[in-house]
Amino acid sequence: MTLQVNEVTKIRRKVMTETARLHWNGNLIKEIDQLPERLTAEHEHRYRCCEFKEKAIYAERIKLAMGLSLAPEHAKKRLSTLARHSLTHSHEKNRSQVEVIDIACDGCPIDKYFITNACRNCLGHNCQQACRRGAITIVGNQAYIDQSKCVECGMCRKACKYGAILEVHRPCEAACPVNAVIADQNRKAIIDNGKCTDCGNCMVSCPFGAISDHSQLLKIIDWLKGEEKTVAMVAPAIIGQMGQKEKLGPLFQALKQLGFDRVEEVSFGADLVALGESEEFANRVPVKDPYMLSSCCPAFVKFVKIHRPGQAEYLSTMVSPMVAMAKTLREDLPLAKIVFIGPCVAKKREAMESKVVDGVLTFEELAALFVAADINLATMEEAQEEASKASKDGQGFAAAGGVRAAMVNGIKRFADADFRGGSAQGLEECLAQLKLLEKSEASFNFLEGMACSGGCLGGPGALVDNRQTKRFLDVRGSQLECQNSGDNRLAIEKLKDLGHSLHKSSKK
């Protein structure tokens, strides 16, 4: 995914920032009802038919920013009433993480199939013969599709010898390879939660910003301003996101100024996972399983379980780096509020299910929080960074191919293991590679699956294009003293201490 900062992005970030600012300053209940009108007045451009629709859409965005669903029971309530509810009630765990703002959806009134001027009005009329609904007629020496009869089956397109019939996908549908985003009878987008993997790609693909996820900003602000000890766990993909290039010192300072008592790198958790998956691979492949699948990306794991259930048994039982790092912290901080900061939307559901991570902020949400609290990273002094516990391989988990590279080093501890790693980025590519494994046609016996193009660096909550941050990631990796997971003695010892608790199958 190539990151584009467009008007949709700016509006989404503005809503998050202003909602967070109100709560940070203690004015949420008092001023939230006026926020839609203020945002509408401040914005230079109008994209809707009238200001009333603009305000209504802003109100829906604010609900999501407050962590609320767009359920019908919330439709006619004042934002101040909903804000009180959001601050005093835990959010539903079984709801969809990603929702469609119905009033913002344009319905994309485009015809999926249409006939271009390349049509030669041939004698065969194969398109007409292929259409079982009688939707194709010949008008003015050219084939024509009657959209009122068309069921978008695509048979006419397949039948045309000239390739004169084009297929156009709605942006949200095109972004979802599992067909979880579909159009209802009014052509409004709806999400099939039974198919959705929470990857978030539809969010960044909708040109109307009609799809968004629930934020946890309000409850995290409460923790930061309260008496509870809070810990920030930053994903390896944080490199370069806040303008600090490969340096983490200013960012860590800013997080502590925000109110976090402690800041840790999840890349150490990635080292634990790389070592654990290497050992698991050696014990499983080819002893009893023909191959193994990585378990680091929650959207990929969910994709396999829902859409490739026959291959779910080959998923690694290791937890993700986020959960592994949280479990190491729980030994010393059993009551602390642990907040994961990364580019991933799917991590929010994984955190709820893990029971060891209390909250999740995307990089976009963190940036909004910094602005709301008037914290400028550019003014942070260049403090001496603490020595990182992580390795180059742990840091490399953020990029596509990073898990595979770490496994190459980790597997060296097992001389007899025949490791042939493969990597897939984007669910479409993941599906293709899974099919090869299923048919025993793959040249690899371990697959690193990433739901986003570019790996975690290309996540929907990222601030900077993954091609740029990849360069900073490489520099950061080269600076780490411990060069690979196989030599990270601290991670090896910690893995022994935690043992089976880092495996999902563990009941401990």
Residue 329 and residue 183 share a domain: no
Average pLDDT over residues 180-203: 90
| pLDDT reported for residue 366 | 97
| pLDDT reported for residue 459 | 94
Position 402 in a domain = yes
- pLDDT digits 0-9 by tens, 303-314: 999 999 999 999
Residue 232 and residue 86 share a domain: no
Contact at 8 Å (CB) between 67 and 84? Answer: no
Range of the domain at 139: 113-167
Nearest-angstrom CA–CA distance, 476 and 469: 10
Nearest-angstrom CA–CA distance, 70 and 52: 18
More confident residue, 169 or 119: 119
Domain end position, chosen among 180, 195, 215: 215
CATH at 92: 3.30.70.20
Position 81 in a domain = yes
Residue 181's pLDDT band (boundaries 50, 70, 90)? very high
Question: What does each C-alpha distance from 77 to 3, 20, 90 come to in angstroms?
Answer: 35, 20, 18
Contact at 8 Å (CB) between 448 and 423? Answer: yes
Contact at 8 Å (CB) between 61 and 15? Answer: yes
Average pLDDT over residues 120-143: 92
| pLDDT reported for residue 481 | 59
| pLDDT reported for residue 148 | 87
Residue 118 and residue 103 share a domain: no
Residue 468's pLDDT band (boundaries 50, 70, 90)? confident
Structure tokens at 297: 């990306």
How many domains does the chain divide into?
3
Average pLDDT over residues 117-141: 92
Q: What is the share, in percent, of the chain residues with pLDDT greater than 70?
A: 93
Residue 384's pLDDT band (boundaries 50, 70, 90)? low
More confident residue, 129 or 485: 129
Q: Is the pLDDT of residue 179 over 50?
A: yes
Residue 206 and residue 263 share a domain: no
Residue bearing tokens 């993997």: 197
Position 491 in a domain = yes
pTM, entire model:
0.89
More confident residue, 423 or 69: 423
Residue 312 and residue 378 share a domain: yes
- The closest of 86, 107, 106, 109 to 8, measured between CA atoms, is 106
Range from 87-91, 143-147, 297-301, 441-445 carrying the lowest mean pLDDT: 87-91
- pLDDT digits 0-9 by tens, 54-104: 999 999 999 999 999 888 888 889 999 999 988 887 665 556 789 999 999
Position 1 in a domain = no
Q: What is the share, in percent, of the chain residues with pLDDT greater than 90?
A: 64
Residue 487 and residue 430 share a domain: yes
- pLDDT digits 0-9 by tens, 29-54: 999 999 999 998 887 666 777 888 89
Residue 245 and residue 368 share a domain: yes
Structure tokens at 356: 């060891």
Residue 208 and residue 78 share a domain: yes
Q: Is the pLDDT of residue 386 over 80?
A: no
| pLDDT reported for residue 291 | 97
Report the chain's mean pLDDT, rounded to a whole number: 89
Average pLDDT over residues 235-260: 88
Residue 506's pLDDT band (boundaries 50, 70, 90)? very low
Q: Give phi and psi for 47, each to the nearest 5.
A: -115, -5
Q: Is the pLDDT of residue 245 over 90?
A: no
More confident residue, 490 or 190: 190
Residue 151 and residue 26 share a domain: no
Helices of type H across 48-130: 51-65, 79-88, 126-130
Q: Is the pLDDT of residue 407 over 80?
A: yes
Domain end position, chosen among 167, 182, 203: 167
Q: Which distant-in-sequence residues (6+ apart) come within 8 Å of 135 by Cβ? A: 145, 146, 147, 149, 150, 151, 156
Nearest-angstrom CA–CA distance, 456 and 397: 8
Residue 317 and residue 191 share a domain: no
Classify the C-alpha dihedral 169-173-178-184 as positive or negative. Answer: negative
Nearest-angstrom CA–CA distance, 172 and 207: 9
Residue 13 and residue 98 share a domain: yes
- pLDDT digits 0-9 by tens, 308-344: 999 999 999 999 999 999 999 999 999 999 999 999 9
Residue 156 and residue 100 share a domain: no
Position 507 in a domain = no
Position 508 in a domain = no
Average pLDDT over residues 281-303: 95
More confident residue, 3 or 376: 376
Q: Is the pLDDT of residue 230 over 70?
A: yes
Position 24 in a domain = yes
